[in-house]
Chains A and B, each alone.
Chain A
Amino acid sequence: MAVKVIIPTPLRPYAGKRDSAEFKAATVGEALRRLTTEFADLRKHLFTEDGKLRSFVNVYVNDEDIRYLAKENTPTKDGDTISIIPSIAGGCS
C-alpha cells in the first residue's frame, strides 16, 4: 500500500501520460517531492523556482484542502489519495 497521487489531465504529458502514481510517503510534501523526482518535467508546473507550491495549485488529501490541514507537512497514510486541482486565474494587466 502507498499514497496515490492523481495527475491532472494537463500535466499527464509530463508524467509519462499516466493518470496517477503511487509512492511511499509520510507527508503530502514527501509524496509531491517523490512525484516531481520521478517526473522532473512536472516540477515547474507545480512549484516556483524557490520550491513553493504555485499559488494557483491546490492540493487535497482525500478531498481535504491541505491549506486547512498542515499544508505540505500534512501526514499521509497508506491508501490516501492526493489530488492536484488548479484555480484558474488571469487578467488583462
Chain B
Amino acid sequence: MSATPTLWISGHLVEKIRRHGAETYPHECCGALLGRDAETQSETPGREVLGSHPLVNRRDDSPRNRFSVTPNDVLEAERVAREQGLDVIGWYHSHPDHPARPSEFDREHAWPWYSYIIVSVLNGAPQEITSWRLNDDRAEFSSEALEVRRRAAV
C-alpha cells in the first residue's frame, strides 16, 4: 500500500464508540464498523464508517483484557450492514487501562483489510482513539489515519 490509508468517521460515531468503552469499563467493549470502502478506486486509499453495531463481549473468563465475537455475531453484523446497503469494514474494541495500541494478541487474531479501531479507557474515562490495519505479511499493524468529520461520502 503506497499511501497511508484513511478512515473517515463522524464525530457522533466516535463519541458512540468512546461511550461504549466507558459503559463496559473495566471490561472490553467491541462492535462492528459499518461503512463503505473506496480503496481500489483511488490513489489515496480511504474508507468511511457510516454506522456502528455494538456487540456483546463473549469472553466471560477474562473480559478485562480480552474480547471475542462469535461467527454468529459476525454474520449478524454482516446482515445488519447489508440491510443498510453497507459492508462490515472493520471492528472496534476498547483497551481498559491500556494504551490504544494493538497487542500481540490483537495481531494474532486479525485479518488484513479490516480496520481495527481501538479506544483506550483509563479509570473509566475514554481517552485516545486510534485505527489500525494488519499488514499483508501479518508481521505488524500499520496505523490508519482516523479523520473525524461531520459528513463525508465515499
A residues in contact with B113, CB < 8 Å = 9-11, 13
- Known contacts being A9-B113, A85-B74, A92-B96, is A41 close to B136, with CB within 8 Å? yes
With an 8 A cutoff between CB atoms, is A16 at the interface?
Answer: no
The answer to whether the Cβ of A90 comes within 8 Å of any Cβ in the partner chain is yes
Given contacts A9-B87, A45-B138, contact A90 B106 (CB under 8 A): yes
Q: Are B87 and A88 in contact (CB under 8 A)?
A: no
**Shortest beta-carbon distance, B3 to chain A, in Å?**
16
Which residues of chain B come closer than 8 Å to A11, judged between CB atoms? Answer: 111, 113
Q: Is the beta-carbon distance between B65 and A88 smaller than 8 angstroms?
A: no
B47 nearest CB across to chain A (Å): 12
- Mark the stretch among B12-20, B97-105, B146-154 that contacts chain A: B97-105
Separation of A31 and B112 alpha carbons in the complex (Å)? 22
The A contact surface, by secondary structure, is mixed
**Known contacts A41-B136, A92-B103, A93-B105; is-contact A87 B68 (Cβ 8 Å):** yes
Tally of A interface residues using CB under 8 Å: 23
With a cutoff of 8 Å between Cβ atoms, the chain B residues found around residue A85 in the complex are 71, 74-75
Q: Does A79 contact B (CB under 8 A)?
A: no
What is the size category of the interface that chain B forms with chain A? 35 or more
**Known contacts A10-B114, A11-B113, A93-B105; is A88 also within 8 Å of B91 by CB?**
yes
Chain B, residues 99-123, CB within 8 Å of chain A (1/0): the string is: 0001101100111111010000000
As a 0/1 sequence over residues 70 to 93 of chain A, the CB contacts with chain B under 8 angstroms (1 = contact) are: 000000000000000111111111
CB of A56 within 8 A of chain B? yes
Q: Does A24 contact B (CB under 8 A)?
A: no
**In the complex, are the beta carbons of A86 and B67 less than 8 A apart?**
no
CB–CB A91/B65 < 8 A: yes
B66 close to chain A: CB less than 8 A:
yes
Closest B residue to A65 by CB, please name it: B71
- B95 in the interface (beta carbon within 8 A): yes
Residues of A within 8 A of B105 (CB): 89-91, 93
Determine whether the beta carbon of B71 is less than 8 Å from that of A86: yes
| Cα(A92)–Cα(B35), bound, Å | 25
Q: Kindly list chain A residues whose C-beta atoms are within 8 Å of the C-beta of B110.
A: 90
B66 touches A91 (CB 8 A): yes
